[in-house]
Amino acid sequence: MCGIVGYIGNKQACEIILKGLKRLEYRGYDSAGVALLNGDLRVYKKQGKVLDLEESLEGKNIEGTIGMGHTRWATHGEPNDKNAHPHQSPTGDLSVIHNGIIENYATLKEGLLQRGHTFKSDTDTEVLIHLIEDIMKNANLSLQDAVRAALGQVVGAYAIVILSKNHPEHVIAARKGSPLVVGIGKERGEFFLASDATPIVEYTNQVIYIKDGEIAIIENKELTIKTIDNVIQTPYIQELEMNLEQLEKGGYPHFMLKEIYEQPKSIFDSFRGRIDAKSGNINMRSVRDYQEKLSKVNRLILIGCGTSWHAGLVAEYLFEDLARVPVEVEYASEFRYRNPVIYPDDLIVSISQSGETADTLAAMELAKQKGATVFGVCNVVGSSIPRLSHGGAYTHAGPEIGVASTKAFTAQVTVLTLYALAMAKQRETLSSSRIKQLMKEMEAIPGKVEQALKLNDKIYKIAELYKDAKNFLYLGRGYNFPVALEGALKLKEISYIHAEGYPAAEMKHGPIALIDEEMPVVVIATNNEHYEKLVSNIQEVKARKGKVIAIVTEGNTGLNELADHIIEVPETENCLSPILNTIPLQLLSYHIAVMRECNVDQPRNLAKSVTVE
C-alpha cells in the first residue's frame, strides 16, 4: 500500500523516480507526487495515476539529483491533490513521503493544533512532518535527532523518506512495519530507496532491506544505518535475484495475462530441484531442518488473506488427505484478534505473495509470542514474512505485478503440495510408490497447464456471452471448492461483477434462490469421487434455467447435453487438480474484465501489497 521511491546521486532524480513509481503503482494508484531538492525543495503532486503526475510536470522545473516520489493508496483523507504525498512542514523546509498508518495521529495533531499549527491536508502523514519541525524548533534538535524523537512518539506503521531544504546532500529514511529497501548504486554516493526492489533492479543488484526500528541516513555520499535509539548497525548487503525483463509486459497487453501465461514456468520453478520422482525424496531445507518438528506436528494452522487464504484452503485438503494431519485455515485478520489457542506442537504456516501483508505479519508475531514454530510460504524474496519465519520456502514464481494474484496462487499450492508430500513420507501415510506417482504427475503439471492455456479462444467466446452479467456463481466440491472461491474472487476484483464461490452441495441451502436465466454458474466438475454429485447440482441449476459453464476432464462427454458450455482440462490426480482447474477461471475473469474496459492490472480500490490492517 503506497509506493515510495527516493534517489540521491549524480543523475537527474525526477526521471528515475517517475519510472520507479510506475513500477510501484501496483501498490496504490489514486494520486502521486514528487519532491526534488536542488537548492530549493520543490513539491509537485496530482490526483490520479503516475502518468497524470508526469503530464502535470510538463514545463515545470524538475532539475535535481536528489528527490523522492510517492504513489498513494488512500487511508486518511480522500484521494485528491492536497492529500497526495509528499507533505511539507509549516516552513516548507522539510518534506516527507510515507507508507503506513500513524494510528495516534489525531492525538499528535491535537497537540500541534494547540501549538498553533494549521494543516493543509486530512492525512496522518502531514502531522508527522509538522511534528518533526516542531521538535526541531522547540527542543532545538538536529534534523536527525528530531526525526528519532518524533518517531518515538508515533504509534503505528511507517516507511518514510524525508528531505530537507537546509540539508542538501542528505536523505533520511526509516521503517517500522512497512517495507523499505536501499539500493547501493554503482557510483560512489549513489543510493536508491524504495518500497520494494522493483524500481531499483534497473540500476543495481546490491540492496539492503531496512529492518523495523531502523533509520537509514545518507549524508556526504555515505550510508549509515542506525536504530531509532541511535545505535549504529552493520548493514547486510544482499544480491537481488530478479531481473528487469521480469518486470516488463513482454508483449502482453496486461501483466495479468503475462502472469497467467507464465504459469507453466512458474509452477515448474516452484518445484524445480525440490522433488525427485525416482527416489520419492523431497529436497527442501525447511523439511531437513525441521524434520523432527514436522513428524511430530499435531495440527497445522494455515494463515493468509485473500487468494493466499484460498491456497491455504486447498492445502487443508492436501495435508489432511495425504499426510493425515489436522488443519485449520484462518484469515490472518481474524486469527490475530481472537486469542487463538496454540499448542507447542502446532505448526503455523503463513502464506503470502508479497510477504508484507500487515495482518499476516501480525498473526505470525502473535503465534511466535505464543511459542509456536512459524513457517512462511512466500513469493517476494527478502520480504518481511520470510524474515520473521523460523523456516519455510519461497514459491519462486517471479515478480507478480498484476494486482489480481494468478501465478502466485498456483505456485503457493505447488509448494504446499510439496510440504504435504514430505509429511506424508515422514508419517508413512502414503506408500513410497504412491508418493513417487504423485511426484511424477506433479512434473507433468506444467505441460498440462500449457495445454489448458490453449483453451483461451474458447474461453474468450464464453466471456463475450456473459460479460454483462450482474452476478456469477462458482461451484466446486472437495479440492475444488477453494478453486470456486478463487474463481469468484478473480472475477469480482477485476471486472466488478458480483460473484460468489460455494461448495456445490451448499447451493441448496441458500444460493439456489438466486438462480434464474440471468445467472451464469461456473461448475468445476472434473473427474473425482464427487463427479456424480456435481452432475446432480448441475441438474438443479438447469431446472431453474441457470446457464452452466462446466469445467470437465478432457474426454468427458457426460455433460454435453446438460451444460451450456464445456471447458475440457487435461486429466490429472484429484489432489493436483486445483492447479489446473484454476487456469480457465483466471482466463474467464481476465477476458470479461477487458471486455468491460476495466483496468485489469490496477483494479479500483485495490492494492497489491496490503501493508495496513
DSSP 11: S
277 exposed, middle or buried (CB, 10 Å; 0-12, 13-18, 19+)?
Answer: middle
- Return the residue of 352, 410, 480, 586 that touches ligand F6R, per CB under 6 A: 352
The nearer residue to ligand F6R, 525 or 610, going by C-beta atoms, is 610
Residue window 419-458: x/- pattern of binding to ligand F6R, with contact defined by CB under 6 A: ----------------------------------------
d(CA 403, CA 45): 24
CB of 354 to ligand F6R, least distance (A): 3
Torsion of CA 95, 98, 101, 106, to 10 degrees: 10
CB of 357 to ligand F6R, least distance (A): 3
- Return the residue of 88, 178, 204, 354 that touches ligand F6R, per CB under 6 A: 354
The nearer residue to ligand F6R, 29 or 105, going by C-beta atoms, is 29
Binding to ligand F6R in span 223-242, by CB under 6 A: none
If one asks whether residue 308 binds ligand F6R (CB under 6 A), the answer comes out as yes
- From the list 45-53, 118-126, 306-314, 579-587, the region that binds ligand F6R by CB under 6 A is 306-314
CB of 494 to ligand F6R, least distance (A): 8
Assess whether the previous peptide bond of 253 is cis (omega < 30° from 0): no
d(CA 400, CA 571): 28
234 exposed, middle or buried (CB, 10 Å; 0-12, 13-18, 19+)?
Answer: exposed
CB-closest chain residue to ligand F6R: 306
Instruction: State which amino acid sits at residue 70.
Output: H
Binding to ligand F6R in span 373-412, by CB under 6 A: 404-405
d(CA 214, CA 222): 16
DSSP 337: T
- Return the residue of 198, 353, 373, 480 that touches ligand F6R, per CB under 6 A: 353
Instruction: State which amino acid sits at residue 185.
Output: G
The nearer residue to ligand F6R, 332 or 372, going by C-beta atoms, is 332
- From the list 94-102, 347-355, 447-455, 552-560, the region that binds ligand F6R by CB under 6 A is 347-355
d(CA 217, CA 567): 57
- From the list 121-129, 221-229, 303-311, 473-481, the region that binds ligand F6R by CB under 6 A is 303-311
The nearer residue to ligand F6R, 204 or 353, going by C-beta atoms, is 353
The nearer residue to ligand F6R, 270 or 353, going by C-beta atoms, is 353
What are the helix and strand counts (H, E) for the chain? 19, 27
Contact criterion met (CB below 8 Å) for 504 and 475: yes
- From the list 115-123, 195-203, 348-356, 421-429, the region that binds ligand F6R by CB under 6 A is 348-356
C-alpha count within 13 angstroms, C-beta hemisphere, residue 599? 11
d(CA 484, CA 524): 7
Q: Which of 406, 452, 379 has its CA nearest to residue 589?
A: 406
If one asks whether residue 270 binds ligand F6R (CB under 6 A), the answer comes out as no
- Return the residue of 360, 480, 495, 586 that touches ligand F6R, per CB under 6 A: 360
The nearer residue to ligand F6R, 83 or 384, going by C-beta atoms, is 384
Alpha helix segments (H runs only) across 139-262: 143-153, 255-261
Instruction: State which amino acid sits at residue 383.
Output: S
CB of 475 to ligand F6R, least distance (A): 20
Q: What is the DSSP string of 243-309?
A: -GGGGS-TT-SSHHHHHHHTHHHHHHHHHTTTEETTTTEE--HHHHHTHHHHHH--EEEEEE-HHHH
The catalytically annotated residue of 2, 14, 378, 575 is 2
Instruction: List 99's β-bridge partners, or say none.
Output: 159
- Return the residue of 71, 95, 357, 395 that touches ligand F6R, per CB under 6 A: 357
d(CA 613, CA 604): 18
The nearer residue to ligand F6R, 196 or 493, going by C-beta atoms, is 493
Q: Catalytic residue at 2? A: yes
The catalytically annotated residue of 45, 176, 492, 608 is 608
Binding to ligand F6R in span 478-517, by CB under 6 A: 489, 493
d(CA 460, CA 465): 9
Q: Catalytic residue at 305? A: no
The nearer residue to ligand F6R, 121 or 354, going by C-beta atoms, is 354
The residue behind cell 522539510 is 94
If one asks whether residue 602 binds ligand F6R (CB under 6 A), the answer comes out as no
Binding to ligand F6R in span 12-51, by CB under 6 A: none
If one asks whether residue 99 binds ligand F6R (CB under 6 A), the answer comes out as no
If one asks whether residue 305 binds ligand F6R (CB under 6 A), the answer comes out as yes
Contact criterion met (CB below 8 Å) for 368 and 216: no
Distances, alpha carbon 159 to alpha carbons 29, 214, 227, in Å: 17, 10, 14
d(CA 593, CA 306): 19
If one asks whether residue 586 binds ligand F6R (CB under 6 A), the answer comes out as no
Write out the three cell numbers for 539. Answer: 441438474
The nearer residue to ligand F6R, 361 or 422, going by C-beta atoms, is 361
CB of 397 to ligand F6R, least distance (A): 11
The nearer residue to ligand F6R, 214 or 493, going by C-beta atoms, is 493
If one asks whether residue 610 binds ligand F6R (CB under 6 A), the answer comes out as yes
C-alpha 471: how far from chain center: 26
DSSP 380: S
Residues touching ligand F6R, count (CB under 6 A):
14
Write out the three cell numbers for 290. Answer: 525441521
Binding residues vs ligand F6R (CB under 6 A): 305-308, 352-354, 357, 360, 404-405, 489, 493, 610
Catalytic site residues?
2, 608
